[in-house]
Amino acid sequence: MTVHIITIDGPSGSGKGTLAAKIAQHYQYHLLDSGALYRLLGLALARRNKLQTLHDEECVEIAKKLDIQFEPNEFGVLVKLDGHDVTNIIRSEQVGEYASKVAVIEQLRAALLDRQYAFAQAPGLVADGRDMGTVVFPNAGAKIYLTASAESRATRRYKQLQGMGSDAKMSAILANIQARDKRDMEREVAPLKPASDAYIIDSSDLTIDEVFQMMKVHIDRLFA
Ligand code: DC
């Protein structure tokens, strides 16, 4: 049976996560949030005091044996690490930092590959990340690269934080996003870049629904 694979890569704040979930729901496909895997591994290693020794073989073993579960529920997906709910913890800035440290280590990325391949099940998969179309699923039937200017991503994040009652400064948010882009794009292993056969969408001046429609037209044409 054919397993249709749709990859959605791009920088943080481009709307990737929201769009990947909408596309997966529309086609009734499985969903891989690969960023969550890096966050979970970062948290697992931090809890074991291993963040200073990420090149150790022991860290590769921890990555391979990572005890995690993704349990869909009425609110989204419950994420567990070592049997405990970490759904909210892994979204913190702190765990984002751990994840970005883990993400530059080649052998740790390699240790997470099998786990990512395991998500590719019938009828299909929507894989969200940085290297889904370039490294993990290079033969995917539909590849999308969703981007947006750093300024528009910073504005979205600013509004989101304001809505949560935070008094974060716009200039600090923008600087943070630019630094993260640089780290993701300039790293040696699996840098963030569009696959040569990716459909590139710039969401700076588009609504979620407009981007969703563009993606759907593209995917339907390829999978027709
Ligand atoms: O998308 P996110 O913010 O949850 O990703 C967390 C970190 O993991 C971020 O530093 C980028 C990294 N990442 C990666 O290197 N490769 C992926 N496929 C997904 C995320």
Residue 28: what pLDDT? 96
pLDDT score recorded for residue 101? 92
> Residue 80 corresponds to which amino acid?
K
pLDDT at 47: 98
Quick count: other Cβ atoms within 10 Å of Cβ 83?
A: 8
Q: For residue 18, how far is the Cα from the chain centroid? A: 11
Could you tell me the domains of the chain?
4-149+198-214 (3.40.50.300)
Name the phi and psi angles at 202, rounded to 5: -100, 115
What's residue 180's pLDDT?
86
pLDDT at 40: 98
Nearest to 127 by CA among 110, 146, 99, 111: 146
The finding on whether 9 has its CB within 6 A of some atom of ligand 1 is no
pLDDT of residue 163: 86
Q: Is the CB of 116 under 6 A from ligand 1?
A: no
Q: Ligand 1: does its nearest atom lie under 6 Å from the Cβ of 12?
A: yes
**The pLDDT of residue 75:** 82
pTM of the complete model: 0.94
Cα dihedral sign, 163-144-97-47: positive
For the chain (length 224 residues), average pLDDT per consecutive 10?
94 93 96 97 98 96 97 89 96 91 95 97 97 98 97 92 87 92 90 96 96 98 92
Residues belonging to the binding site for ATP are 10-18
Q: Per the structure block, which two tokens stand in for 102?
A: 């883990």
pLDDT of residue 19: 97
Give yes or no for residue 100 CB within 6 A of ligand 1. Answer: yes
pLDDT tens track for 109-132: 999 999 999 999 999 999 999 999
Mutate which of 91, 100, 182 for ligand 1 pocket (most atoms within 8 A of beta carbon): 100
Q: Which tokens in the block code for residue 214?
A: 């563009």
Of 156, 205, 153, 199, whose CA–CA distance to 180 is shortest? 153
Beta bridge partners of 143: 7
- Look up tokens 């440290």; give the residue: 101
- DSSP secondary structure of the chain: ---EEEEEE--TTSSHHHHHHHHHHHHT-EEEEHHHHHHHHHHHHHHTT-TT-TTSHHHHHHHHT--EEEEEETTEEEEEETTEE-TTGGGSHHHHHHHHHHTT-HHHHHHTHHHHHTT--TTEEEEEESSIIIII-TT-SEEEEEE--HHHHHHHHHHHHHHTT----HHHHHHHHHHHHHHHHH-SSS-S---TTPEEEE-TT--HHHHHHHHHHHHHHHH-
CA 198-223-132 angle, 5° bins: 35
